[in-house]
Amino acid sequence: MNPLQDLARSLGERPRPVTLFGAPEGYDAAAIGDIVAEGHVLPWLHVCRDDGRMDRFAAALAFIHPELDALTFPAWDCLPYDRISPNSEIVSRRIDTLTRLATGGGDTPLVVLTTVNALVQRVPPRSLFEGRVLILRPGGHIGLDRLQSFFSNNGYIRTATVREPGEFAVRGGIVDLYPAGAAQPLRLDFFGDTLESVRTFDPLSQRSSGTAPEAVLRPVSEVLLDDAAIRLFRSRYREQLGATGPDDPLYESVSAGRRYVGMEHWLPLYYERLETLFDYLPDAGISFDHQADEVRDHRLEAVADFYAARHNVTAAARAGSPIYRPVRPVQLYLDNLEWQARLRGRPVVRLS
């Protein structure tokens, strides 16, 4: 038995934190893959320093251990308390991973790759995705009204031409859409309520590029504006952040059921409670890149600074910009005490 096999067995029998020395970039993916492949601790969560590092780790892991099922969970690409929303392609990848984890997977050993910034931020609860995955196959039947209702309830945006994740278009019996996690958009060809074919197409040329056996549709936003979410948002917004006025376009838009740019930064107000990636992987072993702890400390300092800048701004300093009432950092991010509590009792490997 080699040392990594012995370590995998030992962590499965006695979960605890350990440090793995002598694992430079490239070899670290092989080492973590070897531990996971032993099957003593499943699933496994590896936390990278940043998105670039996550992409390199994923490529190395796929090359060395192609038998492992790897999912990626990137962080939002915007600043804390920003006025813009995260990129739709990134949200698509996040939702794809969350729905797969929430609905369960197959028997293949699973590795989830994420970053410090993504793990430290809270996410929508698993219950949000119950009953929200729709699978369509040629020969199946579904009314266009029901399909458009699914789009409306799961964050899709209707456009004339589908080019980005989360968009859909309807032209007679042809429905174009770009589902969460899909490599290419899909073109559904209906005859009445019968789905005749599922094809992929190029979002630039709009030409069909191939066929697909099925279409798996998932939500495309972390904020789903149904009636319950709108009521909860209105109540909590007034309770936590004070009275609203005509200079608060966020409150007015959400109250009317309209999406608003940057609305994701008030994520805690739409749901009874948020969860974390730890909740989606309650029994997972965890490994951390070298210097991941330092990255987390810097991230929490940045969150505190951005919150203070938003919270303490004066009306004069706003100079006509829309009012911004930020939620407290602990509502959207894990503090140090909760972070340590989430790691307690798990196999934890820190790379050095």
Of 148, 102, 135, nearest to 217 by C-alpha is 135
Give residue 242's pLDDT: 84
Measured CA distances, 30 to 5, 42, 65, 70, 215 (Å): 12, 16, 7, 13, 34
Cα distance between residue 59 and residue 214, in whole Å: 27
Q: By CB neighbour count within 10 A (0-12 exposed, 13-18 middle, 19+ buried), where does 91 fall?
A: buried
* Complete domains list, the chain, with CATH: 3-125+279-351 (3.40.50.11180), 134-217 (3.30.2060.10)
Of 276, 323, 222, 308, nearest to 47 by C-alpha is 276
Cα distance between residue 78 and residue 87, in whole Å: 8
Of 88, 193, 103, 83, nearest to 147 by C-alpha is 193
For residue 305, the one-letter residue type is: D
Give residue 222's pLDDT: 95
Q: Within a 10 A sphere around the Cβ of 71, how many other Cβ atoms? A: 20
Place of tokens 């838009």: 253
Cα distance between residue 75 and residue 50, in whole Å: 9
Phi-psi region at 275: left, alpha or beta (left = phi > 0; alpha = psi -120 to 50): beta
H-helix segments, 196-335: 227-241, 249-255, 277-280, 292-311, 315-318, 329-332
Give residue 106's pLDDT: 62
Give residue 134's pLDDT: 93
- pTM of the complete model beyond 0.85: yes
CB 137 within 8 A of CB 212: no
Give residue 130's pLDDT: 87
10-residue block means of pLDDT along the chain (352 residues)? 84 92 88 91 94 96 94 96 94 94 80 98 94 93 93 92 94 94 94 95 93 94 93 95 82 93 96 97 95 96 95 70 92 96 95 91
